[in-house]
Chains A and B, each alone.
Chain A
């Protein structure tokens, strides 16, 4: 099945710093790729997604580009805020094509803390 490796954290940044959280994957075919965010005490929320190679997903100032050459989907933000402090998860379907039934496999999560 497919798998995902996410950069280990935690990551600590000052407000307005540039953020990169690395995510690489192993997959059959070209599955959709996702980033989820989990704010303290809450469930996960879909942050952005990309459905094919070279697609760029974006939301709330975050971006990630689907790179098939490097099998990567790194999350970036140009200027982080204290309110971005959360846990970020990279995810993709567990199998290729229609056999995944929407099931996702998640990275272990990266804790981001942003200080004023």
Chain B
């Protein structure tokens, strides 16, 4: 019953560093998503994937990259971290359109 697993839970980066946020799901869901949550701003979609090998940009993709080599994994890559990327990042998956999401527990990232 793992659902969606995100690692790490917390991370502090210096400006210009890079890192990868990991996301794995064990429900065989085709649809996966990365959102960022800023205080009082709701969630904004960064990237999404409708299946292995297929990814596309969301609302706020600049400064991020993703890959989807397997159904289970959907890592989010930050290149050249900036203070504006300080946020809480959530990965989510869905069985199909209209079913709603299963979310991971989030990664709190601070860029200093």
Contact = CB atoms under 8 A, between A and B. Distances in A.
Interface of A: 32, 34, 36, 42-46, 49, 51, 89, 93-94, 98, 100-104, 106-109
A94 B50 CA distance: 15
B43 A89 contact: yes
Contact of A104 (B6, B101, B106): B101
A108 B48 contact: no
B75 interface: no
A102 B42 contact: no
Interface in B1-56: 4, 6, 31, 33, 40-43, 45, 48, 50, 56
Most buried by B among A45, A100, A102, A106: A102
Size category of the binding interface on chain B: 20 to 34
A101 B105 contact: no
A45 B105 CA distance: 10
A70 B6 CA distance: 38
B101 A108 contact: no
Given A101-B50, A108-B41, A42 B100 contact: no
B98 A102 contact: yes
B48 A34 contact: no
B103 A45 contact: yes
Given A102-B96, A106-B43, A43 B90 contact: yes
Contacts of A106: 42-43
Contacts of A94: 45
B58 interface: yes
B90 A108 contact: no
A13 to B, nearest CB: 20
Contacts of B106: 42-43
Interface in B84-109: 90, 92, 94, 96-106
Nearest to B33: A103
